[in-house]
Amino acid sequence: MELDKTRRAVHNARMSQIQHATQPTTISPLYAVPSYAKINLTLDVLGKRPDGYHELATVMQTIDLYDTIYLIAGDEDRVSMVCNRAELCNTDNLVVKAAQMVRQQLHLTRGIHIELLKRIPVAAGLGGGSSDAATVLLALRDWWQLPLSDQQLWEMASALGSDVPFFLQGGLTLCEGRGERLMQLKHNWPATMRWLVLLKPAISISTAQVFRALQPQDYTNGSWSHAAQAALETESTLQPQNLYNSLERGVLEQYAEVAQARSALLDAGADNVRLSGSGPTLFSTFADLTTASRVQQHLQTQGYEVYLTRPIAPAGQSIHFF
């Protein structure tokens, strides 16, 4: 899908800002860079499109939970990778596809070896694979000083996956269309949501399957995401009860583990719980660290995989927490 002229200008301006946003630790010939996860504050599914995808409006936020990607100059004319999660160590991995796409686009013969240190749970609704792909695109452009425009990078990101363009800029963003049309929002993060407890049930969920299980009553007109956008932009407080996810009903009904995990979060003291993306990860928001860490520890003693994290915006040479 093409960006219109104004949107493209705004997009390019933002992309120029973020071109140097992901500051690497450069020890030539090694390039190391963090790749952040996301949560969906809201996710409206508006309907099914003729191309089989669904029309979305979603407000996403990068969080301080990250994979680390190490790019290493390779001797041979190929892309290779290793990963601490053996099942991800293959040429279907989006980091390999992203690197191959860059090489093909510019007819490069330089070899590259990628070491992927995964910390973000896989197939969890946290965008880990998409984030890794976007990070490789940005990192290769920067490391190899490639003549790739922001528009070209955005097009490659869109071809790699619906969430990948978001991770080129990160932060707090309204994503529309398939997810690839981006509008960055002001970092007006509510103080009541400063801390996030993430609970990852011990199952993986196929995004495609979750979208297939949608029913007509799950569709909205985008109002949750647009109301969240308005609240964040006008500095009126976004309340936890204004968070929403069209995919949540189906996931809670279909996967007992997720429904159980939701109850466990509420029993542990969370006063709000939402699904991130297509799940199965659930998140709860907290104003203070003490309560959030108490909930985390309580859930960990019950054997749950739980993360205590915070919204984060990669920007310039530093990162902003809010």
Alpha-carbon gap, residue 284 to 271, rounded angstroms:
8
Q: Which of 33, 43, 56, 133 binds ligand C5P (CB under 6 A)?
A: 56
Does 181 bind ligand C5P (CB under 6 A)? Our answer is: no
Closest distance of CB 167 from ligand C5P, Å: 12
* Assigned token pair, 198: 């993430």
Number of residues that bind ligand C5P (CB under 6 A): 11
Does 195 bind ligand C5P (CB under 6 A)? Our answer is: no
Of 53-61, 115-123, 132-140, 220-228, which part binds ligand C5P (CB under 6 A)? 53-61
Closest distance of CB 115 from ligand C5P, Å: 24
Helix axes 289-301, 256-267, angle to 10 degrees: 130
Phi, psi of 26 (to 5 degrees): -95, 115
Does 178 bind ligand C5P (CB under 6 A)? Our answer is: yes
In our burial notation (b when 16+ CB lie closer than 10 A, e otherwise), range 25-64 reads eeeeeebbbbbbbbbbbbbbbbeeeeeeebbbbbbbbbbb
Does 53 bind ligand C5P (CB under 6 A)? Our answer is: yes
Per DSSP, the three-state class of 82 is strand
Does 322 bind ligand C5P (CB under 6 A)? Our answer is: no
Catalytic residues, which ones?
A: 38, 163
Closest distance of CB 94 from ligand C5P, Å: 9
Q: Which of 11, 54, 97, 200 binds ligand C5P (CB under 6 A)?
A: 54
Does 161 bind ligand C5P (CB under 6 A)? Our answer is: yes
Does 154 bind ligand C5P (CB under 6 A)? Our answer is: no
Does 14 bind ligand C5P (CB under 6 A)? Our answer is: no
Query: CA-CA distances (angstroms) from residue 142 to 2, 103, 221?
Result: 25, 14, 39
Does 124 bind ligand C5P (CB under 6 A)? Our answer is: no
Nearer to ligand C5P, 110 or 249 (CB): 249
Does 211 bind ligand C5P (CB under 6 A)? Our answer is: yes
Closest distance of CB 276 from ligand C5P, Å: 14
Does 208 bind ligand C5P (CB under 6 A)? Our answer is: yes
Helix axes 150-160, 128-143, angle to 10 degrees: 150
Contact 289, 192 (CB under 8 A): no
CA end-to-end distance (rounded Å), the chain: 32
Of 15-23, 51-59, 111-119, 145-153, which part binds ligand C5P (CB under 6 A)? 51-59
Closest distance of CB 36 from ligand C5P, Å: 17
In our burial notation (b when 16+ CB lie closer than 10 A, e otherwise), range 179-205 reads bbbbebbeeebbeebbbbbbbbbeeeb
Does 179 bind ligand C5P (CB under 6 A)? Our answer is: yes
Does 166 bind ligand C5P (CB under 6 A)? Our answer is: no
Contact 242, 73 (CB under 8 A): no
Helix axes 94-105, 150-160, angle to 10 degrees: 140
Q: Which of 207, 254, 272, 291 binds ligand C5P (CB under 6 A)?
A: 207
Per DSSP, the three-state class of 318 is strand
- Provide the binding-site residues for ligand C5P, judged by CB under 6 A: 53-54, 56, 161-163, 178-179, 207-208, 211
